[in-house]
Structure 1
Amino acid sequence: MKAEPEAQRRLLDLQAIDTALAQLAHKRRTLPELAELEALARQLSALEDERIRAQVAVDDFDRDIARLERDVDQVRTRKDKDQARLDTGRGPARELEALQHELASLTRRQTELEDAELELMEQRETAQATLDELLAKQAAGRETREATEARRDQTLAEITKEAEFRSGARQPLVADLPADLIALYDKIRESSGGLGAALLKAGRCGGCRLELYGTELARIKAAPADDVVRCDECRRIMVRTAESGL
């Protein structure tokens, strides 16, 4: 393939732009904030599972405490009724004695229920403290996520702006270069890790970094200036300038 030496030299400018665009794309894919957000998502998901379990525990305690409170109220109501009957002093002695026994039994029952309720209330307090701690962790996690998202968005906006600038510089350069040269460059670039053209500097290929010797170097020295030469090793276009050492 033939191309004017200046056109070949301008391939290096194009390669510099494409390398910068590739680096920006890599930076976009590998932002630290992306990994941080993934980790935060896992943490918040785990915290939500814990919060649900903690909330269920608190709700269970509330239900049991409410049940015990109803039982205590029923016992109190029964005690008040029996005490009122006993206070009248009317009725057979056996019946009054039975009321006294029932009052004693109800008092013991009330004490048992109140003790059980107090124990549940203490356990509920512990469960509520666990729930509150988890809610605080969730709130802190969400704040961290929001801050991380803001950093991510800012960095992505900067990357997008720079990529647009580079792409804007690429378009007129590509339009000004021979189509067949661009086609070859793009084909090599796509199959060679993004590097399609490199400077031949001091007898060394800028693509694979191998130094040229013997017949290979002689071939390149003998090639006309408008020949598009390629490295025998990496097959990339080698651009010759005054730095090539030929």
Structure 2
Amino acid sequence: MNAAPADQIRLLDLQAIDSKLDQLAHRRRSLPEHAEIDKANADHTALKDLVVAAEAQKGDTARELTKAEQDVEQVRTRADRNQQRLDSGAITSPKDLENLQHEIGSLAKRQADLEEVVLEIMERQESAVSRVEELSARLEHSTVVLKEAEGRRDASFAEIDTEADKVKRDRETVATVIPADLLKVYTKLRETQGGVGAARLYQRRCEGCRTEFSITELNAIKAEPADKVVRCENCSRILVRTADSGA
């Protein structure tokens, strides 16, 4: 392939622009905020799960407390009813009186036991409520942390994208004056050679792969016509000759 020396040199300008775009893309992918957001998201998700579990425990305890209080009320109602029968004097049989008094005593013990259960459940309910409040506060804070990290990321995105848009406009200006066939080869090489399709031959060295050419190899390159598109035998990149090439 042949191309005017000026067009080959323009490849170096294009390569510099493309390398800049690659750097910006890498910078965009490697923002520290990405790791912050990943961690914040993980923390947020874990806290949401904990809040759901705590809310469920709070609800279970509330239902348990309601049931226990109902049990106490049932026993208290029955004891009150028995006490009223006893106080009324309607029961005259000694055996019936003894049985009723025994039942009132049993109900009193049962009520005391159930009230202890209610107190224990109330303590657990209080603990469950506190746990929900604590986790909800932490979840709210994690939301703020996540939003702040996303805000910093988006601000960095905007800054990088603005710079990238300018560099892309510069690229278009340079690329439009490079012959299509030369640009096609350069583009294909960029895809296969780690983003570098053209490299300067500088003082006997390929700046793409850092290979240093022997005097014989350099003389062979020097013997090629100025418009000959030379390729590095080591890395296959387009080797652009300049006044500092030594060839």
> How far did 1:84 drift?
2.5
Q: Which residue of 2 aligns with 1:189?
A: 190
Coordinate RMSD, CA, aligned? 1.8
Counterpart check, 1:78 vs 2:78: yes
Q: Which residue of 1 aligns with 2:230?
A: 229
Query: Structure 2: any 5+ residue segments left out of the alignment?
Result: none
Query: For residues 50-104 of structure 1, what are the alpha-carbon distances to aligned partners after superposition, in whole Å with 9 as ceiling and x for unaligned?
Result: 3222222222211111001011111222222222233333331433443322222
Number of residue equivalences = 246
Q: Which residue of 2 aligns with 1:108?
A: 109
CA distance in 1, matches of 2:81, 2:182: 106
Instruction: Specify the SS of the correspondent of 1:129.
Output: helix
Instruction: Specify the SS of the correspondent of 2:176.
Output: helix
Instruction: Specify the SS of the correspondent of 1:198.
Output: strand
Q: Which residue of 2 aligns with 1:147?
A: 148
> How far did 1:43 drift?
2.7
Q: How does 1:37-186 map to 2 (within 5 A)?
A: 37-94=37-94, 95-186=96-187
Query: For residues 93-142 of structure 1, what are the alpha-carbon distances to aligned partners after superposition, in whole Å with 9 as ceiling and x for unaligned?
Result: 43344332222211111100000111111122223333333222222221
Q: Is the Cα–Cα contact under 8 Å of residues 89 and 96 in structure 1 kept in the other structure?
A: no
Q: What is the TM-score with the length of structure 2 in the denominator? A: 0.91
> How far did 1:32 drift?
2.6
Counterpart check, 1:16 vs 2:16: yes
Q: Post-superposition, which runs of at least 4 consecutive aligned residues in structure 1 deviate over 4 A? A: none
Q: What is the TM-score with the length of structure 1 in the denominator? A: 0.91
Instruction: Specify the SS of the correspondent of 2:46.
Output: helix
Query: Structure 1: any 5+ residue segments left out of the alignment?
Result: none
CA distance in 2, matches of 1:73, 1:230: 96
> How far did 1:211 drift?
1.1
Q: Is the Cα–Cα contact under 8 Å of residues 62 and 124 in structure 1 kept in the other structure?
A: yes
